[in-house]
Structure 1
Amino acid sequence: MSAAKRPPASGSRARVRLGLRVLRDWRPTVAWVKSLLRSFATSFVVLAATLWLLPGITSGGLVSMLWLVVLVAAVGAVLRPAMLAVATIAGGYVALLIGICLQATVIYVALLLDPNAQISHFSLAFVAAWVAAALSAIVHWIADAGTDDAFLAETLRRMTRSRQPAGQARPPGLLIIQLDGVAAPLLQWAVRAGNLPQIGHWLRSGRYRLRQWHTGLPATTPAAQAGLLHGVADQIPAFRWYEKDVRRLVVTSRPGDAALAERRLSTGDGLLRHDGVSISNIFTGDAPTSLLTVSQAALPTRSSAYAAFMTSPYGLARGLVLGVGELLKELHQARLQRRRRVWPRVARGGAFLLLRPVTNVLLRDLNVSLVAEQMARGAPTIFCDFVDYDEVAHHAGPARHEAMAALEGLDRVVGILSRLAAHGGARDYRIVVLSDHGQSQGAPFRQRYQESIEQVVSRLLRSEAVEETAGATADVEGWGPVNTLLTSVTSHGGAAAAATRAATRTRSADGEVALGPAERERRAIADADADAVVVASGNLAMIYLTGLPGQVTCQRMGQEHPGLVRGLAAHPGIGVVVIATEADGPIAVGGDGAHRLRDGEVRGRDPLAPYGPRARADLLAHQACAHVGDLVLISAVDPDTEEVAAFEELVGCHGGLGGWQTAGLLLHPAQWSDPAGDAELVGPVAVHRLLARWRDDLGLGPHGETGGGSGGGDSEGSGADEVSGGLPQSAERVPETPR
């Protein structure tokens, strides 16, 4: 079988082999030492409580108690690697039962052998052993559920259950991991600092190459994924926008709006159309299977990983343990920012206390479980978005300690997925890591100037008899994944769905879960019938004059609102105002000059100079987007710090221009070729073409899989050279996680 992975063994044999691999790969670590100390403290408290509760047993004093604790803790530390292997083979609950039996035996023998212990009845020693062992094992079980090793072992065990049976040779699969919001320069910096061992190992070993790509405008997830997944770049003008013809606010984090946008995007030729899988994305990429995808959230999901994750001790228990830890961590980190007077900063209480544990624990682990399930089933191409870093960076700052810790967590996720691909996939999976955009830092516009952007617009229009200005500038992005998850849960039957429906009373007109401000803003704008609507996406804002049909030109603006453009351009927080003209096309106006985008002619001081050499092309392309605003605003950027002023209440933002928000990353096997050579990739459509080419070279393209049939087995052998379109096998194989 040189041309294929070896067929898998039977289910029990495969689980035993995986368990032995987990045991072989285990190494003592700092975390193991911490668990040993935790075990010592837990055993002392549990044994003391047990002996106190059972009046028929008394210990010989503190020294005797410490002897019992040391013995129990030592046995537990020695057996923990074996318990991980048992959990892989038999499951977490069986490991829990075995652990209780072993600890009960140890405690029972220790009590009998302790000359200082006084036992009124022989059976009491037996009872005490089981009570203490049960309490101790449950505590350790819950705590161990939060470790990556336990989670990996349980996920591998589930993969062996659903792995496809042996068959004809299969070409390698393609796993695309999106690290939402991570800028290429930031990732390079983290690698140099030694904070990303997995990605750093890939790069330093020469197996992978890191490239930067320019996202263009808008630098948002929906616009990037429209290009990455569908190869379309002119339908998404921002994260949210207003459609004047139907007087509707569109927010792409709302499932109904995302579905509307995808209907306009999709040509049926998306990146994932050939039996691909979309996980936790905004759009599907025409994938036949979509899991936690916003545009498909209201549709029933066919995935056994949902139920397995929620009922597994390493799903729900791990989520509970780490989620509480993430909540406490957020409270502590926010307090430190206030005490140290870190600036800029925003309030980090309220809804963010819920969003961070959900996005950085529950959704992350659920995504890993869903990816593992699809790899076990042999899905050809998988595209999954992880939002951990993006959500934390919005509120803490893109280069702050909290955000960098979230990035380190994503590096561990990449390592876990690489190990899952190597040991449990039905194919040899090749991994590509990319981001959809970066982030730029700065104090929010409202903090700097004591008024919001909609208040500025309202003030400038008030003298011109404009009755009302409505705004959509609240932070809505983080609610998208949460609402998608909850909407997916409520679409199923059972007690969990009923409980979720009862707990989430806020719903959209389409019946979707609509927590957060997006639905509130949509209704407010619809009810207000405002003359002007201001919509923000990071440091990009668009103004729509609802009483004037079509896109308003500079000449018409001068007739209807002569002071608006001049007033906005003169504001110290606004760097550029873009407006269309009848004869010269769109122009970018600043406080002391103007830049004609069509040919680059500049009058006075160039307002685009602080935004880099691609600003003119970015703004010109943005003007061609559907439903672009009558006025497009980009906040001012500090020439020394490259800080921007988000029109939303965010420290880290993206959507406009300035700083690292347009610096996406692409990490791929080093010997995979690009017809353009080392030329910079500009725009998500260019990255889409490259990904599609690599997919086709692997034999996963329009003509189907060259090997056909179904495959399976472990990844110790591979004949992918015959089906990988000439890609060098040495560069493609999934590297092992560094130890």
Structure 2
Amino acid sequence: MPNGLSISSRDLRDALIGLVPNAAALLVSSWILAGLEIAHWWWAFAVAAVTAGFDALVRPTLRLIAGFAGAITALVLGLSAQVALITAALVLVPGVYVSGVEAAAQALLLVALLAAVTRWLVGVNDSSYIVADLIRRGESRRRRRGRPVDEDDPCGVVIVQIDGLPYPLLGNGIVSGVLPTLSRWVRSGSHEMTPWWAQVPSTTPASQAGILHGRNDGIPAFRWYEKDTGRLVVANRPDDAATIEARLSDGHGLLADGGVSVSNMFSGDAPTALMVMSRAARRGDLGPGSSYIRFFFSPFVLARALVLTVAEIVKELYQGRQQRVRGIEPRIRRRGSYVALRGLTNVVLRDLNVALVAEHMMAGAPVIYVDFVDYDEIAHHAGVMRPESMDALAGIDLVLHTLQRVADAAPRNYEFVVLSDHGQSQGATFRQLTGRTLEAAVREHSGAASAVAETGDVEGWGPLNALLTDVLATARPKTRRALRRMDRADEAGVIVGPQRSGPADLSERPELVVVGSGNLGLVWFPRLPGRVTVETFTEQHPGLIPGLLTEPGIAFVVADSARGPLVLGRSGVRVLLEDVVEGHDPLSGFGPRAAADLLRVAEMKVAPDLYVHSTLHARTGEVHAFEELVGSHGGLGGWQNQAVLVHPAGWEIDEDLLDRSVPGEEMLYGAGSVHQQLVRWLERIGARRAEPVDGVPGPGRRHLTDTM
């Protein structure tokens, strides 16, 4: 047999190991389902083998079709093909009887359930199961080639964002053993861990824009009102995300040179963008449907994910009840849509992300950036260090282990960078503390009659929204129009989304707009043109600022004035431009970087008329979100500004990028600095071409050894 087609004993062993769980599950299914009979146990192995063979034969054709027809075709083909494949295998194998397609579909779901339970009992990594065939084929190719990857080939990089992971919690997870993969990397010396400072607003859109595009000016929060257009911009809505990226992108983002962006808010100018919010509504920029085939078509993978999603929902209901029964504080109500959201983000989206990243690693993509939101979403509702949040973090650590296995089988060497976009802080909400919302407090102290409040949780639905839009955007024009209508909301004269401007007549706009972004509140008076100053507030709403500062849970407000932005506290004022404090410093306790952070956002063109910031508990570091979230981020205080950067040990952080404004501390300050460092690393290892500046090659053309 030619060497290229030879099959080793290890290949056979790996294939057999892959068949055992499915064969066992098929056998048990025959005992349970009336429409499925298997004469002898060995026929179950035959069905599993035929299923795997059909998968190998049919998948290339499906991939080709989906590549032309898009993601929705991949979904439809995949679901149909899984049922057809298992039906064909059951019909063709002798000694097996199946009553029809319905029985085959039941068998598919039951096998997925039993195989998932079996793997859980024996401790098999679920993520490895998703890409096991990729890993086996990659390892076989390497063994047949008889030599490792050419070390002279440029190295690829996989950048994994663990959304919302605070640096102190990373340290705890490594020491406690909750994160064995990251612990092994750090303890072995292959990687180093360092914090970086996530500036206000410490939110995903601001940080991802900075990391992926090098800029995040013009993003004052997760959502904000623009007086120029009369719109409320929400960063995780596809059209708004596209508008934001268009404002920031220069075409040379982090992933511009052949990179792949997976499950992010922005593309980083990647040629391939999958489940990326800023690209989701534009069919021409959708990722190829063939990328989804592995997940949508592989036997039992999607069915298993759906089964485990239901299990995750049941687990959430139990854990939420346990918090109530045990009287754990602070806590929030964990019901409604969040229950389903946790199941989808913690299972379906995680598995799909793994499949997409692995697919592009095996294709040799130079740079891949993927965002896992599991921990952030659960920590919002359960708490930063609660058991369910740590379980989600441990699950992402398992993903890193799987991706490392994929890297070992990939056609090029890969290095891993792990980072977070911000940290997260904890505390009772403002409503729990005061008995009312921020909107109610502002209305009372200002006397405003009509108001629009946006203080509900919208962040968690972003990734799922991107997936649905990514898939459904390939549907008929009528369906796409319906999706756009769903993405708009007319309320009190405010249009959500960039499709059209708000009312041109100021009198038709609401008198007040209040937005929550973690423990940072934003207030606009849309009928008052321009930025409203302290002097104007004193004249038109004299009780607003003094009234807010008497509220429990509010530490200070930031407003413009004749002297520039002011931070006003209960017993003092800080003039940010002059760095002068009159009375007691309202930023005392918020850290030495607070003034610089607030000055930056206060000078943005789209800054609110009034920033409202929560108090910070001196001993516990707890803050009070203006959204109903027990874990939050957006402002200052606690761990929310302490983000994570884990990088290969030989990749030193450049001295000129380190901020030394705080004595005794050296760190990357702001997402823009992280972007610069990542670009330099990618250029030095050949994963990205250095962009010349005025005809002179950029600093990234230096070799790594020049900075070691």
TM-score tier, shorter chain, comes to 0.7 to 0.9
Q: SS at 1:668's partner residue?
A: strand
How many Å separate the matches in 2 of 1:365 and 1:436? 21
Of 188, 193, 197, the match for 2:171: 188
Q: Contact 1:23/1:81 (CA < 8 Å) preserved in 2?
A: no
Asked whether the 8 Å contact 1:221–1:437 carries over to 2, the reply is yes
Distance in 2 of aligned mates of 1:152 and 1:701: 27
Per-residue Cα deviation, 1:189-209 (whole angstroms, up to 9, x for no partner): 111111111111111111111
Task: Give the match for residue 623 of structure 1.
Answer: 602
Confirm whether residue 675 of structure 1 aligns to residue 654 of structure 2: yes
Q: Distance in 2 between matches of 1:628 and 1:318?
A: 46
For residues 585-641 of structure 1, give each alpha carbon's deviation from its aligned partner in whole angstroms, at most 9, with x where no partner exists. Answer: 211111121222224322222211121121111111111223011111111111111
Kindly indicate whether residue 301 of structure 2 is the aligned counterpart of residue 325 of structure 1: no
| Structure 2 counterparts to residues 400-415 of structure 1, below 5 A | 400-415=386-401
- Describe the shift of the 1:519–1:252 C-alpha distance in structure 2 as closer, same or farther (beyond 3 A): farther
Largest Rg, 1 or 2: 1
Q: 1:485 deviation in Å?
A: 1.0
Q: Distance in 2 between matches of 1:153 and 1:437?
A: 32
Note the C-alpha offset of 1:102: 14
Residue 426 of structure 2 corresponds to residue 441 of structure 1: yes
- Aligned residue runs from structure 1 range 142-157, under 5 A: 142-144=113-115, 147-156=126-135
Give per-residue Cα distances to partners, 1:311-369, cap 9 Å, x unaligned. 22243112212111111111111111111121111221111122112211111111112
Which residue of 1 is the match for residue 527 of structure 2?
547
Q: 1:479 aligns to what?
A: 461
Identity %: 42
Alpha-carbon separation, structure 2, partners of 1:433 and 1:229: 14
Give the Cα separation in 1 of the matches to 2:460 and 2:152. Answer: 42
List per-residue Cα deviations over 1:50-91 (Å, max 9, x = no partner). Answer: 79x99xx9xxxxxxxxxx9xx96xx99999999999899789
Pairs within 5 Å for 1:281-292:
281-292=264-275
State the SS of the aligned residue for 1:383.
strand
Opposite residue 446 of structure 1, the aligned amino acid is R
Residue pairs, 1:155-304, within 5 angstroms = 155-156=134-135, 170-300=153-283, 301-303=286-288, 304=290
Counterpart residue type for residue 182 of structure 2: I
2:227 touches 2:529 (CA, 8 Å); kept in 1?
yes
Q: Which amino acid aligns with 2:434?
A: Y
State the shift of 1:469 in Å: 2.2
**Is 1:655 equivalent to 2:634 in the alignment?**
yes
Matched residue, 2:672 = 685
Shift in Å, 1:289: 1.7
C-alpha separation in 2, matches of 1:87 and 1:190 = 42
| Alignment of 1:392 onto 2:392 | no
Q: Following superposition of structure 1 onto structure 2, how do residues 342-381 of structure 1 map, counting pairs within 5 Å?
A: 342-381=328-367
C-alpha contact 2:208 2:266 (8 A) present in aligned 1: yes
1:682 positional shift: 0.8
Q: Secondary structure at the match of 1:338?
A: helix
Cα distance between partner residues in 2 of 1:558 and 1:298: 44
Shift of 1:521: 7.9
CA distance in 2, matches of 1:519, 1:476: 20
Per the alignment, do residues 612 and 550 of structure 1 end up closer, same or farther by CA in structure 2, a change over 3 Å counting? same
Q: Is the 8 A contact 1:219 1:655 kept in 2?
A: yes
State the Cα RMSD in Å: 4.4
Give 1:208's aligned amino acid.
H
Distance of 1:539 and 1:400 partners within structure 2? 20
Between the aligned partners of 1:173 and 1:236, the Cα distance in structure 2 is 31
Amino acid at match of 1:563: G
Displacement of 1:576 in angstroms is 1.4
User: Who is 2:66 aligned against?
Assistant: none
2:134–2:362 CA contact under 8 A, matched in 1: no
Aligned residues between the structures: 643
Query: TM-score, normalising length from structure 2?
Result: 0.80
Deviates more, 1:346-355 or 1:646-655: 346-355
Are positions 1:570 and 2:570 aligned together? no
Specify the code of the residue in structure 2 equivalent to 1:580: D
* 1:456-471 superposed matches below 5 A: 456-462=441-447, 466-471=448-453
In the alignment, which of 644, 652, 657 is matched to residue 623 of structure 2?
644
Contact 1:234 1:626 in 2 (8 A): no
Structure 1 alignment gaps of length 5 or more: 1-7, 27-31, 58-67, 106-125, 705-722, 732-739
Query: 8 Å contact 2:156–2:365 — kept in the other structure?
Result: yes
Q: Secondary structure at the match of 1:589?
A: strand
Name whichever of 180-189 and 359-368 sits farther off: 359-368
**Aligned residues of 1:398 and 1:440 also touching (Cα < 8 A):** yes
CA contact (8 A) 1:181 1:435 kept: yes
541, 546, 550: which one pairs with 1:561?
541
1:508 alignment partner, SS class: helix
Taking structure 1 as the reference length, what is the TM-score of the superposition?
Answer: 0.77
Q: 1:577 touches 1:590 (CA, 8 Å); kept in 2?
A: yes
Q: More deviation in 301-310 or 391-400?
A: 301-310
Deviation at 1:243, TM superposition (A): 0.5
1:666 is aligned to 2:651: no
| Residues 238-272 of structure 1: CA deviation (Å, up to 9, x unaligned) | 10111012111000011111111111111222111
Alpha carbons of structure 1 residues 244 and 98: separation in structure 2 relative to 1, 3 Å: closer
Provide the residue aligned with 2:516 in structure 1. 536
Structure 2 residue identity aligned to 1:289? T
Instruction: Give the equivalent residue in structure 2 for 1:112.
Output: none
Considering Cα pairs closer than 8 Å and 6+ residues apart, tell me whether 1 or 2 has the greater RCO.
1
Question: Residue type matched to 2:509 in 1?
Answer: D
Distance 1:685 1:48 in 2: 57
Helix, strand or coil at the partner of 2:402: helix
2:130 aligns to what SS in structure 1? Answer: helix
In structure 2, the CA distance between the partners of 1:137 and 1:237, relative to structure 1 (3 Å rule), is closer
The corresponding residue for 2:612 is 633
Q: In 1, distance between residues paired with 2:110 and 2:169?
A: 39
Aligned residue type for 2:336 = G
Letter in 2 for 1:240: R
SS at match of 2:573: strand
How many Å apart are 1:96 and its aligned residue?
7.2
Distance 1:516 1:365 in 2: 36
SS of corresponding position for 1:447: helix
8 Å Cα contact 2:559-2:610 kept in structure 1? yes
Q: Distance in 1 between matches of 2:292 and 2:198?
A: 33
- Of 589, 598, 601, 2:580 maps to 601
Other structure's SS at 1:626 match: coil
User: Relative to structure 2, which stretch is displaced further, 277-286 or 208-217?
Assistant: 277-286
Counterpart secondary structure, 1:661: coil
Structure 2 unaligned residues grouped into runs of 5+: 60-81, 120-125, 659-664, 692-699
Quote the Cα distance in structure 2 between the aligned partners of 1:231 and 1:488.
25
Once the 2 structures are TM-superposed, how far is the Cα of residue 492 of structure 1 from its aligned partner? Answer: 1.9
The one-letter amino acid of 2:685's match is L
Query: What is the distance in 2 between the residues matched to 1:700 and 1:91?
Result: 33
**Structure 2 CA distance for partners of 1:613 and 1:149, relative to 1, 3 Å:** same
Q: 1:672 to 1:48 in 2, by over 3 A?
A: closer
The 1:102/1:469 distance shift into structure 2, 3 A limit, reads closer
What displacement does 1:570 show? 2.0
C-alpha separation between the residues in 1 aligned to 2:340 and 2:467? 14
CA shift in 2, pair 1:433/1:168, >3 Å: closer
Which amino acid in the other structure matches residue 701 of structure 1?
R
Distance 2:492 2:203 in 1: 16
Q: In structure 2, what is the Cα distance between the partners aligned to 1:606 and 1:410?
A: 41
